[in-house]
Structure 1
Amino acid sequence: MDSNAFETLRTNIPGSIEIDDEKRDIVQQGDVANPAIFNPEDHREVALLAGGVPCPPFTIAGKQLGANDERDLFAWAVEQVDKVRPRALMLENVRGLSLPRFSGYRQYVLDRLAEFKYVAEWRLLNACDFGVPQLRPRFVLVAMQEDDAKYFKWPEPVAEQLTVSAAIHDLMGANGWEGLDQWIEDADKIGPTIVGGSKKHGGADLGPTRAKRAWAELSVDAMGVADAPPARDAKFKTETNQAPGPKLTTEMVARIQGWLPGYEWTFTGRKTTRYRQIGNAFPPPVAEAVGSAILKALKHEGAVVSRETSNHDPVYKVLRELGGLVPASEILKRADLRNGLAEIEERITQLDRDFIIERELTSDGSLAYRLGEFKAFIGQANHERHEKFSQNRSKIS
């Protein structure tokens, strides 16, 4: 969608691909849900279908609109599995998707993939466990065809974590900064999550107030992004300047995001858009760790792994399995809830945000519930997403 991100991708991934005797650039610009841009049928039976779909519908810092957010493409991406029939699927998003608010959404995804004959599992991975010098928790979904899924094992954390100063001290000292040694000591820690912001919210700074405080503890000024490393005699704590330390350049931010030596990549555009591209990315070392685990499973390497069936939302599960109006008493019996009717209503309220839920009184005056349509965009031509998307197109990132 974004012209600057498009130019970055085209710069790093040049070339063309032949589809139906027609050559097309590998990288296409536009709405991926538009069949003129991406036709899933053109990519039948690839080994891996992977993506980082928009996170604003699920982020804790946002409104968590989920299925009602015109930027939500998670459910749509899952639907493409039945059209592409890849051996494996990998989707990643923010930690917010792992919270109770989206338990029904997650269960819908698992059930849908099961209908397609895929075995799926979610896992919360912290980037710092895979050689990236920031926390950056990411919620990752991996699904595989049944013959391959039994060999999939989630990647193990690295033996030693990388700190901020270990990752970028050479860049920070590129101009001979005299305060480098003390800064290396101050920043010898794992950094908070880099926040890239969006066209709607956030510029080139390192995130909200809490993140800025965390960066200050590492002697990093998070109020913006620098054009260059600190000068040789740069001072940051004087009578007139109380900044905690130097600001990061986009090159430093890229290192902290995981573009370490060995992951060469060129970012195009001005400073703010470069920072936004970097800050919203999936860290390359985490992508490599998950991708390598998927590849091993596709090669059937290692021992067979047994896994239990996940049940993210027992109320959703009961409503879906029974269909029609389900009395609260039946939900209580089948869902094994600890807090009785109060928990049912709490879960129903959450489900009501992503699904149409009907409530009716039974003959004895108690409530019964019916699980209706999923509100998310999954490719419907008449979905309200299209009008919202058209109205907000210039702000979507």
Structure 2
Amino acid sequence: MTKRGKQASGSPSGVGTSIELFTGGGGLAWAMHEEGFRHLLAVEFDKRACATLRENTAVAYDPAADQPMSLDDKWPLIEGDVHQVSFANFAGKVDVVAGGVPCQPWSLGGAHKGYDDPRNLWPELFRCVRETRPKAIIAENVKGLLRASFKPYYDYILNELRVPFEQRVEGEDWADHNKRLEKALKVAPSDLTERYDVKYKLVNAADYGVPQQRWRVFVVAFRKDLGLSEWEFPDETHSELALWHSQKNGDYWKRHRREPRPDLVPDVIPPLDPKKPREPWKTLRDAICDMPEPIGDKVEHPDWKHHYGWPGAREYVGHTPNDLDRPAKTVKAGVHGVPGGETVLRKDDGSIRYMTVREVARVMTFPDDWELMGPRGEQMRQLGNAVPVGLGRVMAKAVKDALAGGGKAGS
């Protein structure tokens, strides 16, 4: 049984099956699990992330063992290079292939080599799709994928997802392959199970109830024989405007028993639209208000796992702390050079400190009993690379509803 026990999916066996690629520390995988998807396989290369998965809910994949039949079963995990993994045994058994495709080739903080970067793993996602023919695909990536300099290749990614069986041949330039894909798309398919209807959207996690401003691109595809070409992404549920109104009318401050801060709200704000009701953005204070202060540097709190102080928090130009009464800044993986204060917060007395690992996990909407393995830096890196669980659940639910015949996810 997983550490958090069986999830409420409507059935012990779940709502469908999935394969998780590039699983990392488990954000999207746990979101999928909470929405009732039963993982047949998870694949991850990083040893610390694999240790985290095993500590929580995974077990080494055994090809001779029976596949998981219940949400209580542990996730079969392959620790290794996805290039070396065959998915042929799962053909016809997978409802969803999901994964946060590694971001380094596209990140503004990295070398952003894109399609020339050996860490570009989109081709491995396409291979998994060819070998399993899932009903749906969920892929997440950084905002940098939409930069103008990468747009031609991004269009190519979407085309290859639309016709993944029109494979690139050895030695073929991606641009030449894209021409073949565009040509194939003009011809009616003889087999609808080899084509996918593809949608993508740039989303801010804060707009879906995550206490963090985090822009990410989601790509969702449905197998063409399912007739879901009209599917749309779910509408936003939260807004900055609603937060401003909550702070201006005092509701926010009463809830937190704090004196109002007029500096946070513009002098003039537009009225709320009754036709598009939104909840207020969740703030860092909302996320951690029930947690005690860490009791000391490098001293674990007796009642809270991964909740200890860390020395050396600083503030300077370009490196400013998080404001408790705003959503947190984007949690980063720590591979982008000097951070911009993403893991520093300003307390109510004006002093600053580093956020604890557990507080960052709260901002990433992981459950409080989710354990992260490795030293602090590795734990933070896993969190920074993850999909926020809350945002992952929104996307997983939208796909689940569509597969169940719910039609459009948006309203």
TM-score for both structures, normalised by structure 2: 0.58
Q: Does 1:66 align with 2:114?
A: yes
- Opposite residue 76 of structure 1, the aligned amino acid is E
Q: What's 2:88 paired with? A: 41
CA distance in 2 between counterparts of 1:304 and 1:190 reads: 25
Change (3 A) 1:290 1:304: closer
Unaligned ranges ≥5, structure 2:
1-44, 69-74, 164-193, 238-278, 297-321
What secondary structure, in the 3-state scheme, does the structure 2 residue paired with 1:26 have? strand
CA distance in 1 between counterparts of 2:97 and 2:281 reads: 29
Shift, 1:21, TM fit: 5.9
Q: How does 1:64-103 map to 2 (within 5 A)?
A: 64-103=112-151
Unaligned ranges ≥5, structure 1:
177-184, 221-234, 238-243, 306-397
Shift, 1:153, TM fit: 2.7
Q: What's 1:187 paired with? A: 324
What secondary structure, in the 3-state scheme, does the structure 2 residue paired with 1:28 have? strand
Write 1 or 2 for the structure with the bigger share of helix.
1
What secondary structure, in the 3-state scheme, does the structure 1 residue paired with 2:353 have? coil
Q: What's 2:49 paired with? A: 5
Q: How does 1:233-252 map to 2 (within 5 A)?
A: 244-252=351-359
Q: What's 1:317 paired with? A: none
Contact 1:56-1:62 within 8 A present in 2 as well: yes
The Cα offsets for residues 155-199 of structure 1, whole Å up to 9 and x where unpaired, read as 2222232100111123253659xxxxxxxx95111121011124x
Q: What's 2:362 paired with? A: 255
Q: What's 2:333 paired with? A: 196
CA distance in 2 between counterparts of 1:14 and 1:29 reads: 11
Q: Does 1:219 align with 2:266?
A: no
CA distance in 1 between counterparts of 2:153 and 2:221 reads: 16
Shift, 1:88, TM fit: 0.4
Shift, 1:61, TM fit: 1.6
Q: What's 2:285 paired with? A: 165
Q: What's 1:143 paired with? A: 221
Contact 1:152-1:296 within 8 A present in 2 as well: no
Match of 2:200 among 116, 119, 122: 122
The Cα offsets for residues 330-388 of structure 1, whole Å up to 9 and x where unpaired, read as xxxxxxxxxxxxxxxxxxxxxxxxxxxxxxxxxxxxxxxxxxxxxxxxxxxxxxxxxxx
What secondary structure, in the 3-state scheme, does the structure 1 residue paired with 2:218 have? strand
CA distance in 2 between counterparts of 1:28 and 1:18 reads: 9
The Cα offsets for residues 130-149 of structure 1, whole Å up to 9 and x where unpaired, read as 22111111111111112242
CA distance in 2 between counterparts of 1:283 and 1:118 reads: 26
CA distance in 2 between counterparts of 1:31 and 1:110 reads: 24
Match of 2:105 among 37, 43, 57: 57
The Cα offsets for residues 269-323 of structure 1, whole Å up to 9 and x where unpaired, read as 2211111111111000111000000011111113599xxxxxxxxxxxxxxxxxx
CA distance in 2 between counterparts of 1:21 and 1:249 reads: 39
State the superposition RMSD in angstroms.
Answer: 3.0
Shift, 1:90, TM fit: 0.8
CA distance in 2 between counterparts of 1:288 and 1:303 reads: 16
Match of 2:385 among 280, 288, 309: 280
CA distance in 1 between counterparts of 2:231 and 2:130 reads: 20
What secondary structure, in the 3-state scheme, does the structure 2 residue paired with 1:259 have? coil
Contact 1:259-1:265 within 8 A present in 2 as well: yes
CA distance in 2 between counterparts of 1:15 and 1:88 reads: 25
- Opposite residue 291 of structure 1, the aligned amino acid is A
CA distance in 2 between counterparts of 1:93 and 1:129 reads: 17
What secondary structure, in the 3-state scheme, does the structure 2 residue paired with 1:122 have? strand
The Cα offsets for residues 37-65 of structure 1, whole Å up to 9 and x where unpaired, read as x2121221300001112101000122210
- Opposite residue 47 of structure 1, the aligned amino acid is D
Match of 2:231 among 152, 156, 162: 152
Contact 2:232-2:408 within 8 A present in 1 as well: no
Contact 2:105-2:112 within 8 A present in 1 as well: yes
CA distance in 2 between counterparts of 1:304 and 1:30 reads: 35
The Cα offsets for residues 72-121 of structure 1, whole Å up to 9 and x where unpaired, read as 10233123212210000111110000111211112112222222410111
Contact 2:56-2:371 within 8 A present in 1 as well: yes
CA distance in 2 between counterparts of 1:269 and 1:304 reads: 38
- Opposite residue 353 of structure 2, the aligned amino acid is P
What secondary structure, in the 3-state scheme, does the structure 1 residue paired with 2:82 have? coil
What secondary structure, in the 3-state scheme, does the structure 1 residue paired with 2:78 have? coil
Shift, 1:16, TM fit: 6.1
CA distance in 2 between counterparts of 1:134 and 1:246 reads: 18
CA distance in 2 between counterparts of 1:2 and 1:186 reads: 32
- Opposite residue 33 of structure 1, the aligned amino acid is H
Change (3 A) 1:175 1:215: closer
- Opposite residue 48 of structure 2, the aligned amino acid is N
Q: Does 1:134 align with 2:212?
A: yes
- Opposite residue 9 of structure 1, the aligned amino acid is L
CA distance in 2 between counterparts of 1:117 and 1:80 reads: 14
- Opposite residue 12 of structure 1, the aligned amino acid is N
CA distance in 1 between counterparts of 2:343 and 2:58 reads: 36
